[in-house]
Structure 1
Amino acid sequence: MATGGLKYNFARLNIAEKLIAINVLVFILDGLARALYNYSLSEWFQLPKAYLAFFGQPWSLVTYSFFHAGLGHIFWNMIMLYFSGRIFLNLFGNQKFLNVYFLGVIVGGLVFLLSYNFFPTLLQSNTVLIGASAGVTAVLIFVCAYLPNQEVRLLFFNVKLWYIGAFFVLIDLIQIPYGGNVGGRLAHLGGAFLGYLYARQLLNGNDIGAGFGKLWNGITQLFQPREKKVPLKTVYKKKTSKAQGKAEYDKAAHQKRIDDILDKISKSGYESLSKAEKDFLFKAGKQE
């Protein structure tokens, strides 16, 4: 019953809330592994800084987003995902949300990889990337760019969405020169760029995530149980001879002519019939 209740409650969540639940579950499991076995599950899923290490675990370009460094890290990410997700899902459906979120994760990860190899002095020698920040930032900046003048309530006053988006981008830009999680800041900016580009293109009628959505659906269908095919029953049609077919055709034509004559009588009276029609109707009556 407990498992059934959890499944039911999980199914009732929207897609943003489901992502939050998954992130929290992974955080708890990783914490238990650290406490009980002194081992972190994130080592297999975090995004490394070097190309060679990345090629050894390419799935980390997505999976890094499900692991967090601490309670504060996951708390603020999930709070931002919850509120920006609510605004997003009032505008669009689950598929577009997943497109923006995971494209933000991927672009943020790629910016991190490229930045280390082009600007190695910016990043610490032991840098790896974990956290949902790039995807969360992509969703946040998307709604800020799509509805820039929409006002939201912050404590005691209203603020336009584009002010909020600009604030978070500026915070990341300002902190890069001073060190401290530079890789994460760059990943945030990668997600922000994706969110802004996606929103502006969508306003122009171009969904840049449509291809990713099709790929995503194709992958998920591979893991869905296949429906059992019900064997089709073979229906054997009774063969009809040419003579029988001709007889049925003649009978249908005969009845149609009778119906046409009766319609003519109902509209114009019996006297409107020609001699041939009167004779045909007379003979048909005698055959009945």
Structure 2
Amino acid sequence: MSFLDDIRATLTRRDNALSQLLLINVLVFVVLLLIRVTLYLVTAGRLDITLVLEWLAVPSGPWTLLTRPWTLLTYAFVHTDFFHILFNLLNLYWFGSLVREYLGDRKLVSLYILGALAGAALYLLAYNFVPVFAGRPAMLYGASAGVTAIILGAATLLPDYTFSIIFLGPVRIKYIAAVVVLVSIAGIDGGNPGGEIAHLGGALLGFLFIKQLQRGRDLGRPVQAIADWVGGLLSGPRLRVTHRGSAAAAPAASGARKGTLPKPEQEDLDAILDKISRSGYESLSKDEKQRLFKASQK
């Protein structure tokens, strides 16, 4: 299998959201790197990558944003600095693996996208209404807001889960998340205030996402619905194959199309959601978490 075939397989395989997010970020980074070097060689440094970033990054001006609304999403996959993308993707892999294991691929993507949107929203509010930033031209890009949402989401979901950190040993991820938030707050008066503000927007979204999920409300449903719609457009119309058989199969098929679960399975899911409402997500057993995850995929 060729290199391009490997990329195509990764991007098209189902239940592979974490690898897909990592790969998209890497591919965009490589393309921008090639464009940057090409511009330098062809124009002798007269043009740089800013020319391209202006169409991918979120501008601070609302009128400019109206002409480039897609930047609210594209910015979350754009990096131009090696260490920027390295740290973002390491955190995405470590914390994203936890979210994916316990909540599944769809919740992971929802956290990333909603975190990016929340980060962009807080950045725009700050740069248009906070006096120290208002009127200052800026561009926002990078996966940090989406990644921070995943970090806070994982820490809210599994606060006592530990990572082994060099020189420190086992550290609970709730403390790692707290440090991430404090560092972002401390950096607001530094060289990258827009990015730090976006981190805080993503952090708030990650916390709220899990808290609402524990109460039985999935904030990611709009993201999942749009993803399903886009996936349906890309896959094209599906052929329906019908078989002559007993009429008893018809109601079951109709119920499946409406997204309903068989009654015993629905009652089991309701019991798990009630337990979350009473005692929180952490009170679930591993088996109950797996059943909740499987139900969320239907």
TM-score of the alignment, normalized to the shorter chain, above 0.5: yes
CA gap 1:210/1:52 in 2 versus in 1, 3 angstroms: same
Partner residue in 1 for 2:181? 169
Partner residue in 1 for 2:8? 7
Q: Distance in 1 between matches of 2:66 and 2:60?
A: 11
The one-letter code of the counterpart of 1:4 is D
Shift, 1:229, TM fit: 7.0
When structure 1 is superposed on structure 2, of 144-153 and 207-216 the one drifting more is 207-216
Partner residue in 2 for 1:285? none
The one-letter code of the counterpart of 1:18 is Q
SS in 2 for 1:166: helix
Partner residue in 2 for 1:217? 228
SS in 1 for 2:146: helix
Q: Distance in 1 between matches of 2:231 and 2:129?
A: 35
SS in 1 for 2:137: coil
Does structure 2 retain, via aligned residues, the 8 Å contact 1:84–1:143?
yes
Shift, 1:89, TM fit: 1.1
Does structure 2 retain, via aligned residues, the 8 Å contact 1:69–1:130?
no
The one-letter code of the counterpart of 2:187 is Q
Identity of aligned pairs, percent? 34
Q: Does 1:203 align with 2:214?
A: yes
Shift, 1:223, TM fit: 2.4
The one-letter code of the counterpart of 1:151 is T
CA gap 1:228/1:201 in 2 versus in 1, 3 angstroms: closer
CA gap 1:225/1:54 in 2 versus in 1, 3 angstroms: same
Q: Distance in 2 between matches of 1:5 and 1:207?
A: 33
Normalised to the residue count of structure 1, the TM-score between the two structures is 0.74
Does structure 2 retain, via aligned residues, the 8 Å contact 1:122–1:179?
no
Shift, 1:161, TM fit: 1.4
Partner residue in 2 for 1:20? 22
Partner residue in 1 for 2:258? none
1:207-246 counterparts in 2 under 5 A?
207-227=218-238
Partner residue in 1 for 2:170? 158
Q: Distance in 2 between matches of 1:125 and 1:162?
A: 34
Give the alignment partner of residue 160 of structure 2, picking from 126, 146, 149: 149
Does structure 2 retain, via aligned residues, the 8 Å contact 1:169–1:189?
yes
Partner residue in 2 for 1:130? 141
Partner residue in 2 for 1:258? none
Does structure 2 retain, via aligned residues, the 8 Å contact 1:105–1:132?
yes
The one-letter code of the counterpart of 2:152 is I
Give the alignment partner of residue 203 of structure 2, picking from 167, 192, 202: 192
Deviations 1:20-60 (A, max 9, x none): 11111111111111111345332211100010000001011
Partner residue in 1 for 2:96? 85
Does structure 2 retain, via aligned residues, the 8 Å contact 1:48–1:129?
yes
Does structure 2 retain, via aligned residues, the 8 Å contact 1:139–1:195?
yes
SS in 2 for 1:68: coil
Does structure 1 retain, via aligned residues, the 8 Å contact 2:54–2:139?
no
Does structure 1 retain, via aligned residues, the 8 Å contact 2:88–2:147?
yes
Q: Distance in 2 between matches of 1:95 and 1:69?
A: 28
Shift, 1:9, TM fit: 5.2
Q: Distance in 1 between matches of 2:226 and 2:6?
A: 32
Shift, 1:150, TM fit: 1.9
Aligned residues between the structures: 231
User: Structure 2 stretches of 5 or more lacking a match?
Assistant: 40-46, 243-298
Give the alignment partner of residue 32 of structure 2, picking from 25, 30, 33: 30
Q: Distance in 1 between matches of 2:93 and 2:69?
A: 28
Q: Distance in 2 between matches of 1:158 and 1:142?
A: 19
